[in-house]
A and B are shown apart, each in its own frame.
Chain A
């Protein structure tokens, strides 16, 4: 009897001590956040504080973008949620949003006035048919930056204002032995879009016809310019031989002109990351100087079973505090106007004036088209092939137009 009483006493004591923990775990919700590496919340302490305050445990799953799309698509085929919260890159409208994998957030936004949605720019990028599928977390537009010291060493006191001028400067830099590969561009579709838009080509008309293939178009000139850069070895052969990026090549110290983005100078002038520090500056894109944007957002999976918890996490993720942390960690320009202004006033945004000027010259690419994803991949493969085989730029353009029209016919509703 004594033994039984002791046992009961111990059991009661244990239950009293363990109960709060058990209750807490019972209340704790776990959500998954699927993101590429640069979307991982940089401040672990603040994330832990969010988890402690809300009782929401966030399981961050960091994968490369192509793997992220694969996971979403495979889960969609099974009617499952790949994660509760999904990071939306610039390719997401075509690959994830248009394919019905994300939950419309309109009702949640309306019910959350403290989100201050008017403070967030470029919401329309993740809006389809009036439904908002993602809250913009950071803004990006393609820009260029350059090593001002090397340019000056070659005898040039200002960045180029035309593409021919840029090419001539690159040749001079190479011939003077200042930099063997002065242009840090990739053998990818983006390099062509950058030059073509900057030259003033609209690329597509309002009916999504590929006007880039019109005879004598600037896009044709841009393709010839890009292939010429590779042919004359103004771009490092490493871009063709390894799965690297122009950013990695530039920050390793190779190149003077770099295909960059809004916020890249902060990274380029970080001596822990870049061999060019502290000489990197933005330049306005040459000629007409148009560019395109690629903001990122964050949304909720259409099959998520933790919508409320996911929405709380999203509110935290796009809060001014977190956006400032992300900017300081990886140089990604905040989507909140208030945060942009605060950082500018604090002098934390290098090259703000150039960014502001470049942002007036946005000409969007039709990323919302269902077939944009396959077209972009095809464009990269075709350009890569043309570079390695010495392909004719006009034939490349014709092939791209043919592929676009074929995809448009296949996917058009």
Chain B
């Protein structure tokens, strides 16, 4: 009888089988089940069996003013956060790419905010920004920059800005790590050659660093876009309004908060599942554009 599979092939299949089973059980099966639910009218408040309604949930959301409002708000958070996060991450990566005493300690300190749970960061900044006893007020007051304490989180316009600040503080270390790895992979010979040609610091950055860092930049950008677009923890802990347990703040309601509201507050499981898929598709679309344009260009460079 002819042997169909070689020993190596069988070994590979056996080694991969557990992870395939786990991924199928914990990722693909729930994803498929969620999609199926999104095609139904499932609502846990209504004691009627859920009915198949096709794409009605998607149609409702795409014609819902609130959906577009929260999408706009999520994009605002991204536009406020991403440039700041990538810039700070890049500058810190440049700094940590140089050798100096205590570099290891600085590197550890810099990633501390990222290591802390976002929920903790949200609560921490909530205390810092408190209008009665917050450290920010105390600090600015002592410096003479303000003459009375302010409620930093009171105005709707500033709430979303502070969300962006806290998200930047929480996440900048991640792109920093990726960009630092990218910087360290650039051969020193290229910089030496550029110096020989008379290129200054800015010229070396423009001609050597930026082009070769594009693939790393693209990876960091995609991951950070997805994370920030789907922001939840910081918004919830920093800006949920009064009442024990927190009430959704309409001025900082982003897509994931809206999703939480649909599923856990309103118990509209079918509609919430549809929203999950819309969020997934929007995140994928951006990811694909970034990969297609920036990453490929970086590879060419």
Q: Does A124 contact B (CB under 8 A)?
A: no
Q: Does A200 contact B (CB under 8 A)?
A: no
Knowing A238-B132, A374-B265, A374-B266 are in contact, say whether A243-B154 is a contact too (CB < 8 A).
Answer: no
Q: Does B267 contact A (CB under 8 A)?
A: yes
Contact, CB under 8 Å: A377 / B247: yes
Q: Which residue of B lies closest to A94 (CB)?
A: B45
Chain A interface: which size bin?
35 or more
Q: Does A294 contact B (CB under 8 A)?
A: no
Q: Does B30 contact A (CB under 8 A)?
A: no
Knowing A73-B44, A241-B131 are in contact, say whether A187-B244 is a contact too (CB < 8 A).
Answer: no
Q: Does A152 contact B (CB under 8 A)?
A: no
Cβ-defined partner of A243 (8 Å) among B152, B241, B261: B241
Q: Which residue of A lies closest to B126 (CB)?
A: A242
| Chain A residue contacts of B244, Cβ below 8 A | 36, 64-65, 245
Q: Does B231 contact A (CB under 8 A)?
A: no
User: Interface readout for B239-254 with A: 1 if CB under 8 Å, 0 if not?
Assistant: 0111111111111000
Q: Does A106 contact B (CB under 8 A)?
A: no
Q: Does A21 contact B (CB under 8 A)?
A: no
| Chain B residue contacts of A73, Cβ below 8 A | 44, 264, 267
Knowing A385-B250, A388-B156 are in contact, say whether A238-B131 is a contact too (CB < 8 A).
Answer: yes
Cβ-defined partner of A241 (8 Å) among B45, B47, B154, B248: B154
**A16 to nearest B CB, angstroms?**
45
Q: Which residue of B lies closest to A246 (CB)?
A: B242
| Chain B residue contacts of A40, Cβ below 8 A | none
Q: Does B20 contact A (CB under 8 A)?
A: no
User: Interface readout for B151-195 with A: 1 if CB under 8 Å, 0 if not?
Assistant: 111111000000000000000000000000000000000000000
Contact, CB under 8 Å: B46 / A381: no
- How many Å lie between the Cα of A245 and that of B132 in the bound state? 14
Q: Does B34 contact A (CB under 8 A)?
A: no
| Chain B residue contacts of A99, Cβ below 8 A | 44-45, 47, 267
| Chain B residue contacts of A237, Cβ below 8 A | 131, 151, 154
Contact, CB under 8 Å: B242 / A186: yes
Q: Does B226 contact A (CB under 8 A)?
A: no
User: What are 16 A-B pairs at a CB distance below 8 A?
Assistant: A64-B244, A64-B246, A67-B245, A98-B45, A99-B267, A186-B243, A188-B242, A239-B242, A240-B154, A241-B130, A243-B243, A373-B265, A380-B247, A381-B249, A384-B250, A411-B45
Q: Does A389 contact B (CB under 8 A)?
A: yes
Interface positions, chain A 167-189, Cβ under 8 Å from B, are 186-188
Contact, CB under 8 Å: B264 / A241: no
**A266 to nearest B CB, angstroms?**
19
Interface positions, chain A 360-383, Cβ under 8 Å from B, are 370-371, 373-374, 377, 380-382
Q: Which residue of A lies closest to B123 (CB)?
A: A243
Contact, CB under 8 Å: A243 / B44: no
Q: Does A161 contact B (CB under 8 A)?
A: no
Q: Does B110 contact A (CB under 8 A)?
A: no
| Chain B residue contacts of A243, Cβ below 8 A | 126, 240-243, 246-247
Q: Does A100 contact B (CB under 8 A)?
A: yes
Contact, CB under 8 Å: B243 / A77: no
- How many Å lie between the Cα of A74 and that of B265 in the bound state? 11
| Chain A residue contacts of B249, Cβ below 8 A | 381, 384
| Chain B residue contacts of A389, Cβ below 8 A | 156
Chain B interface: which size bin?
20 to 34
Contact, CB under 8 Å: A244 / B245: no
Q: Does A123 contact B (CB under 8 A)?
A: no
Q: Per DSSP, are chain A's interface residues mostly helix, strand or loop, or mixed?
A: helix
Q: Does B269 contact A (CB under 8 A)?
A: yes
Contact, CB under 8 Å: A377 / B248: yes
- How many Å lie between the Cα of A219 and that of B249 in the bound state? 24
- How many Å lie between the Cα of A239 and that of B44 in the bound state? 32
Knowing A73-B267, A388-B156, A389-B156 are in contact, say whether A242-B44 is a contact too (CB < 8 A).
Answer: no
- Interface residues, chain B, CB within 8 Å of chain A? 44-47, 126, 130-132, 151-156, 240-251, 261, 264-267, 269
Cβ-defined partner of B245 (8 Å) among A66, A74, A240, A381: A66
Known: A374-B266, A377-B247. 9 other contacts (CB 8 A): A65-B245, A66-B246, A67-B245, A73-B267, A240-B241, A241-B154, A243-B247, A384-B241, A385-B250
Q: Does A43 contact B (CB under 8 A)?
A: no
Q: Which residue of A lies closest to B253 (CB)?
A: A381
- How many Å lie between the Cα of A76 and that of B45 in the bound state? 11
| Chain B residue contacts of A388, Cβ below 8 A | 154-156, 251
Q: Which residue of B lies closest to A37 (CB)?
A: B244
| Chain A residue contacts of B152, Cβ below 8 A | 241
**A389 to nearest B CB, angstroms?**
7
Knowing A239-B242, A241-B131 are in contact, say whether A381-B151 is a contact too (CB < 8 A).
Answer: no
Knowing A66-B246, A67-B245 are in contact, say whether A242-B45 is a contact too (CB < 8 A).
Answer: no
Cβ-defined partner of A188 (8 Å) among B243, B250, B266: B243
- How many Å lie between the Cα of A78 and that of B256 in the bound state? 22
**A19 to nearest B CB, angstroms?**
41
Contact, CB under 8 Å: A244 / B248: no
Q: Which of A240, A241, A381, A413 has the most CB of B within 10 A?
A: A241
Contact, CB under 8 Å: B45 / A371: yes
Q: Which residue of B lies closest to A385 (CB)?
A: B250
- How many Å lie between the Cα of A242 and that of B159 in the bound state? 11
Contact, CB under 8 Å: A380 / B241: yes
| Chain A residue contacts of B248, Cβ below 8 A | 377, 381
Cβ-defined partner of A76 (8 Å) among B44, B246, B247: B44
